[in-house]
Structure 1
Amino acid sequence: MKTLGMIGGTSWHSTIEYYKLINQLASNKIGNWANPPLIIHSINIELMREQDKGKINAKYLDTAIKLQTAGAKAIVICANTPHMVYDHVQPKIHIPILHIADATGMEAQKSGIKKLGLLGNKPTMTGDFIPKILKKNYGITTIIPEEDAIPKAHEYVSKELTQGVFSKEAKYFFIEQIQFLHKKGAQGIILGCTELPLLIQQDDVAIPTLATTNLHAQMAVDFIFSQ
């Protein structure tokens, strides 16, 4: 098995979910008597809340180099939003960062999906680090909620979901957004916050959902066992 580096901490709930999923998926291959070699570096979530892009880029690059030096053969960033550092960090290290948008795009491509709705916090929905890869590598167009809904989505993610709070109000809000995006032509919905699949299950909505955390974890396990 190849050693995988994990950059976590944004949030620690997300990191736990990644660690659990990767080990569970690996155990399906090797049994419960063994587990994959993982190196975890947990970053203080306060860094992301400062919204200083230069500082964020520098921290993730420093962490990626440390994981590479420690023997990691690839890196998984254990959340959606921090993938904003990909273009800055990847060219400066010698091991691959397994991008969450590639994990999502490969799954959508299997179903012939060409338009996806994207839900998450404000940086994830309004940034280009997921839509750009989906369009370039898979020909998939991404749409997001109306402008006035984005701050409310961000508030639910940052003040509730990343704190381990899953309220009925948040669930109703995101289901409404899924219905809106479906009417706008989305053939599937990206649950682009690691905690969103803990709030919204497939049975809650009529349109296919793509849980980025699960897909990313599977991508990580596929790498661990790759030749």
Structure 2
Amino acid sequence: MKLLGLIGGTSWHSTIEYYKLINELAGERMGHEQNPALLIYSQNIQLMREQDKEKINRTYLDISQKLESAGAAGILICANTPHMVYDFVQPQIGIPILHIAEAIGRKAKEKGLQTLGLLGNRPTMTGNFIPSYLKKHFDIKTLIPDPEYIDQSHYFVSKELTLGKFTEKAKAFYQDQMKFLADKGAEGMIMGCTELPLLIKEEDSPYPLISTTQLHAEMAVDFIFEDKEE
């Protein structure tokens, strides 16, 4: 099996969810009396809150190089937003970063979805690292909420969800935003924050939900077992 390096700490809730899912999914293949070897580097969430892009890029490159030197065959970033570093970091290391948008695109194509709504924090919704990847590799269009709602979404993610606080007010807000995006043409919704699927379940939405955490974890397990199953 391949040794996978995990970069966590964007919120420890997110890191735990990734670790739990990867072990559960791997257990379905290797037996639940075993678990895969993983390297985990969990950093201080304050890095992302400072919103210093150059510092974020340098830090993720340093962490990725440390994981590669420690023997990781690939890297999984345990959150959506830090994928903003992908274009900077990937060319400077010799192992693949498993891009979260690859997992999103595969599932959307499987479901026959060509236009997706994207929900999350401000950097994820206004950045281009998910929309550009989906457009380039899958020809999928991405829609986001109107500007006046982006700050509110960012508040719920940064001040509530990443702190483990899940309220009915936040759930109602995101349900309203999903309807708004559907009215604009979205056929499905990207849950672009690791904690969003913990807030809104499939039964809470009339629209197909693309749970980035679940799909990314599945992609990770496929990578871990890739050589073993060939």
The TM-score normalised by the length of structure 2 is: 0.98
Q: Could you tell me which residue of structure 2 aligns to residue 48 of structure 1? A: 48
Task: Measure how far apart 1:185 and its partner are.
Answer: 0.5
- SS at 1:117's partner residue? strand
Q: Deviation per CA, 1:36-56, whole angstroms, max 9, x where unpaired?
A: 110000011001111110100
The one-letter code of the counterpart of 1:97 is I
Q: Map 1:65-214 to 2 at 5 A.
A: 65-214=65-214
Deviation at residue 124 of structure 1 after TM alignment: 0.1
Distance 1:3 1:37 in 2: 6
Residue aligning to 2:7: 7
Letter of the aligned partner of 2:221 in structure 1?
V
SS in structure 2 at match of 1:35: coil
Q: Aligned to 2:39, what secondary structure does the other structure show?
A: strand
1:24-65 C-alpha deviation (Å, 9 max, x unpaired):
000000111111110000011001111110100000000000
Q: State the distance in 1 between where 2:163 and 2:204 align.
A: 22
Q: Which runs of 5+ in 2 are unaligned?
A: none
Distance 1:20 1:205 in 2: 24
Query: Match for residue 31 of structure 2?
Result: 31
Q: Hey, what's the Cα distance between the residues in 1 that align with 2:46 and 2:116?
A: 30
Identity, in percent, stands at 62
Task: Supply the distance in 1 between the matched residues of 2:104 and 2:143 (Cα, whole angstroms).
Answer: 15
- Which residue of 2 is the match for residue 224 of structure 1? 224
CA distance in 1, matches of 2:58, 2:206: 41
Amino acid paired to 1:95: I
Q: How many residues align?
A: 227
1:82-118 CA deviation, whole Å, 9 max, x = no partner? 0000000000000000000000000001111100000
- Residue 162 of structure 2 aligns to a residue in which SS? helix
Root-mean-square deviation (Å):
0.4
The alignment partner of 1:5 has SS state of: strand
Q: Matched residues in 2 for 1:38 and 1:132: separation?
A: 30
Residue type at the aligned position of 1:2? K
Q: CA deviation at 1:196?
A: 0.1
**Pairwise CA distance, 1:160:** 0.1
Partner SS, residue 68 of structure 1: helix
Distance 2:206 2:175 in 1: 10
Q: Show CA shifts across 1:158-184 (max 9, x none).
A: 000000000110000000001111111
Displacement of 1:205 in angstroms is: 1.1
Aligned partners of 1:32, 1:106: CA distance in 2, in Å? 27
Q: Give the Å deviation of 1:78.
A: 0.3
TM-score relative to the length of structure 1: 0.99
